[in-house]
Structure 1
């Protein structure tokens, strides 16, 4: 039974909400870390994504929160604008998303080719990997953007702290083993990320107890505020600097967040619809409005921008969630944890969060995706690889823009090539060249058709067939008419026009119902000679 009652499956939804909470907690902290934002900002985003977006959304399976796909953009934006001005961009992005929902722009993701989207995600994955390597090593080197990244990474490897490296290695080992060992996969209520966090705390606890020189000091641990009063609790929320609304850079960031967050959300919704055991339809326009409201509130409270997140949504589905109550439960648990156990959370080594993000980055930039697009041919591979490299070295917006430009170039080139089918067949009387026009022939095809016509050999026999066309641009019609009236005669070409509609105002040399010219495999010499009689 397909029920919209939030309390209809409370038992299974509470259990799955607990699983998502355990997955989301380290991710919220890790993504905030990778974004260069206060760690508490990631928790705020997770709480709003769970409670507010969870309640407003029509999706019963998807879970929203801070997204790895936005880390590169957020990191640069915070560095350029400052955090309070960046929060204004988050609020504006939320408002734009809400408007997109009102304008029924929920199908916007359909207009971005998969090669560009996958390239963007792979590029973001590489950026996450690059940013987390110094943290995983215990290095204090800050990795810059662009081509200077290579020198920074080299410097990071010269500044390794052994204790942090041990925790990173142990955390990575746990995360990899947890995904690989079949017996451990059955422990759905114990996510690998939570085990890695526990191991990281345990190892550093042993270092402390044994007075080891490998102890990870507080500056390399999670640092969440621990309020002791309501006034202190209020003070930990960052307030947007609304005067920054006049800064053009804020609007650029807001528009970029709107585009990237909306596309990532819509793609996640499309994926989670397939995971829903009850196969319920999700209105993507409602989802955009829900995400917009969530981002407005998150920005106002000092949180990060959010999207629907594949990792949490898939964990939610596999844990047996039936309604969106599971997402709401996960948000409530995040709120309770940050209020009740911040001291415990502050024992988490940032190296463990870096290990979690290294694995996320690898999954986004999986070498298998490169192989996948390579097999799909150059028209898919080149836009993909251009997007990846441009995102890494030129920034997210420039990378996506270049990927789109490359895709459009290939689309135009493909359309030009598909404007006609060119073949040459040999019969007893000689060669007959067929030029069969496609269903649609636009002005973009003019150059290719012109080149083909002017390369036709002298004294040849040519049939131009428009029987299958529904549209031919006037520029192309003028070109064909000019070639027939002037150039064909000069080159001694016997030209036959077939299948041109009356509206094209070109006179056919034989009736389009005459199928003689189409029976190319059985035509006899005398039939062709009839077509080309003077």
Structure 2
């Protein structure tokens, strides 16, 4: 995990690091807010993700920090465990990630179906979006879980503060306009989130200067600690409650964070590799180790769990980053900002952060993603949409587990259907029924093939064709042998086997072996008719 040539492109990396800092600052605060954690914890995570993970990672353009994909887990965990105990789970998760990296488990993301992963992220997006509605309206309603969500949203709309709503709408207008206007997007040094923050500060400043009743009070503003001495600065860090290591709930949260954070990081690394104009290879095992060390330090200092983040990474690329020094510089700038301008940061209305999170939630649960999986067919869409809904209403772990189970069922069902092709046109006496086996026929296909063979009409003529088959499980060969020698004879069914290259494994009966044809091309319709009429 050594770094090379960190200062080779310092000019471009300083500029891109500044851009990523401006993007990351409001996101760090917003994700901490969505996670139900102290806002300062989001800054800590951004600093560690930039300086520590940025230095240790082999990726030249990915940037790590608090992740939107973990907010649902973190929110519930903090509510259940308390913040100090939750930090123990973050440290343990980091240690587990480090262990995964040492075990070379960097390919773990390849074993999770994309529809389940996308469904999970979309579900998290819906949760983030819903949770911001009260903040965006100025309501004190707390969003519950399950079906109670709908009642809480309705109640939030009955408790609106006009001043906060104006700031939310203005912030959303800036974010949407910035994202949709090509000319504005080219202003790389001025991210839309930063403009939204400035807009929120200015609007509320006008309300306050004019003594308007629309002015936002301090309880609806960012509230970062403002240390006046080194001792006060040390005091704002929260230490883990190490006795919580004996709490089983802490371990469950740690394992959950490990799995989700690792998958999200690996998927982001895969995406950023495609964005890298130099197409540099990233060792995912090294990345897991870097993330693990970063999460351990973040937890020890009172920060949130982190991942590599697509939003920051793509901003890094578009700003012209050349090496990972850009990520390190963004972390240093976050550290400088929290030391030098906390008073200015405390002027940010929470409504602006809510607006930023509404956009993040929408992008994670983008309707185009739903449409994409709908167009890919029911075997892709159903696990996706069930995962999404289950994550929202049953919780993240239950949602992912349900999605995985459905995906496995559909994979098995798909394999069963693809194992053979049964020509089932209108059957009349004397017709030949063809059962064509696929390239691979495993034991999973045995039940479906057995059902098909048992439903063949009495006194029919059947060709079971394995000419295109490379592998047939012995269980299936035994089934076909049993059907031909016993069941077919009992029902008066005549069977011809074609293309069974391992015919000797299928049957030692001389008469049967005479009916096992290696090449289907040798069987003309006339020859088939002769064989069945013998």
Q: How does the TM-score come out when normalised to structure 2?
A: 0.96
Q: Residues 305 and 490 from structure 1, CA distance in 2 versus in 1: closer, same or farther, beyond 3 angstroms? A: same
- Gaps of at least 5 residues in structure 1 are none
Alignment match, 1:285: 285
Alignment match, 1:377: 377
Secondary structure at 1:308's aligned position in 2? strand
Alignment match, 1:132: 132
- Residue 257 of structure 1: how far off its partner (Å): 0.3
Q: Distance in 1 between matches of 2:253 and 2:97?
A: 13
Judge conservation of contact 1:516–1:527 (CA < 8 Å) in 2: no
**How many residue pairs are counted as aligned between the two chains?**
527
Judge conservation of contact 1:35–1:75 (CA < 8 Å) in 2: yes
Q: Distance in 1 between matches of 2:504 and 2:300?
A: 61
- Residue 151 of structure 1: how far off its partner (Å): 1.1
Between stretches 471-480 and 298-307, larger displacement belongs to 471-480
- Residue 510 of structure 1: how far off its partner (Å): 3.7
Q: Deviations over 1:84-110 (max 9, x none)?
A: 000000000000000110111111111
Secondary structure at 1:335's aligned position in 2? helix
Alignment match, 2:82: 82
Q: Distance in 2 between matches of 1:46 and 1:324?
A: 15
After TM superposition, list the pairs within 5 Å mapping 1:419-498 onto structure 2. Answer: 419-423=419-423, 430-498=430-498
Alignment match, 1:388: 388
Secondary structure at 1:374's aligned position in 2? helix
Secondary structure at 2:232's aligned position in 1? helix
Judge conservation of contact 2:439–2:470 (CA < 8 Å) in 1: yes
Q: Distance in 2 between matches of 1:375 and 1:147?
A: 28
- Residue 271 of structure 1: how far off its partner (Å): 0.5
Alignment match, 2:109: 109
Q: Deviations over 1:244-279 (max 9, x none)?
A: 011111011000000000000000000000111111
- Residue 511 of structure 1: how far off its partner (Å): 5.0
Matched, 1:416 2:416: yes
Q: Distance in 1 between matches of 2:522 and 2:169?
A: 72
Alignment match, 2:407: 407
Alignment match, 1:196: 196
Q: Distance in 2 between matches of 1:344 and 1:369?
A: 38
Q: Distance in 2 between matches of 1:276 and 1:479?
A: 53
Q: Distance in 1 between matches of 2:84 and 2:520?
A: 73
Matched, 1:343 2:343: yes
Q: Deviations over 1:148-188 (max 9, x none)?
A: 11111111111111110000000000000011112211111
Between stretches 433-442 and 161-170, larger displacement belongs to 433-442
Q: Deviations over 1:475-520 (max 9, x none)?
A: 32222122111221122111112232046232444454444466xx
Secondary structure at 1:24's aligned position in 2? helix
Q: Residues 464 and 19 from structure 1, CA distance in 2 versus in 1: closer, same or farther, beyond 3 angstroms? A: same
- Residue 444 of structure 1: how far off its partner (Å): 1.8
Between stretches 446-455 and 187-196, larger displacement belongs to 446-455
Q: Distance in 2 between matches of 1:292 and 1:239?
A: 18
Alignment match, 1:364: 364
Matched, 1:100 2:105: no
Q: Distance in 2 between matches of 1:234 and 1:61?
A: 32
Secondary structure at 1:433's aligned position in 2? strand
Judge conservation of contact 1:424–1:431 (CA < 8 Å) in 2: no
Q: Distance in 1 between matches of 2:516 and 2:497?
A: 9
Alignment match, 2:121: 121
- Gaps of at least 5 residues in structure 2 are none
Judge conservation of contact 1:204–1:216 (CA < 8 Å) in 2: yes
Q: Deviations over 1:39-79 (max 9, x none)?
A: 00000000000000000000000000000010011000000
Q: Deviations over 1:301-348 (max 9, x none)?
A: 000000000000000000000000000000000000000000000000
Q: Distance in 2 between matches of 1:138 and 1:350?
A: 9
Alignment match, 2:57: 57
Q: Residues 480 and 39 from structure 1, CA distance in 2 versus in 1: closer, same or farther, beyond 3 angstroms? A: same
Q: Distance in 2 between matches of 1:329 and 1:459?
A: 80
Q: Residues 476 and 438 from structure 1, CA distance in 2 versus in 1: closer, same or farther, beyond 3 angstroms? A: same
Judge conservation of contact 2:467–2:518 (CA < 8 Å) in 1: no
Judge conservation of contact 2:499–2:519 (CA < 8 Å) in 1: no
Matched, 1:184 2:187: no
Q: Residues 424 and 510 from structure 1, CA distance in 2 versus in 1: closer, same or farther, beyond 3 angstroms? A: farther
- Residue 380 of structure 1: how far off its partner (Å): 0.2
Between stretches 218-227 and 180-189, larger displacement belongs to 180-189
Q: Residues 511 and 478 from structure 1, CA distance in 2 versus in 1: closer, same or farther, beyond 3 angstroms? A: closer
Q: Distance in 2 between matches of 1:510 and 1:13?
A: 74
Q: Deviations over 1:274-311 (max 9, x none)?
A: 11111100000000000000000000000000000000
Q: Residues 434 and 50 from structure 1, CA distance in 2 versus in 1: closer, same or farther, beyond 3 angstroms? A: same
Between stretches 419-428 and 284-293, larger displacement belongs to 419-428
Q: CA RMSD in A?
A: 1.7
Q: Distance in 1 between matches of 2:361 and 2:94?
A: 26
Judge conservation of contact 1:433–1:462 (CA < 8 Å) in 2: yes
- Residue 430 of structure 1: how far off its partner (Å): 4.2
Q: Distance in 2 between matches of 1:150 and 1:516?
A: 64
Q: Distance in 1 between matches of 2:106 and 2:513?
A: 47
Between stretches 435-444 and 11-20, larger displacement belongs to 435-444
Between stretches 366-375 and 436-445, larger displacement belongs to 436-445
Judge conservation of contact 1:412–1:444 (CA < 8 Å) in 2: yes
Alignment match, 2:505: 504
Q: Distance in 1 between matches of 2:307 and 2:215?
A: 37
Alignment match, 1:147: 147
Alignment match, 1:266: 266
Judge conservation of contact 1:65–1:308 (CA < 8 Å) in 2: yes
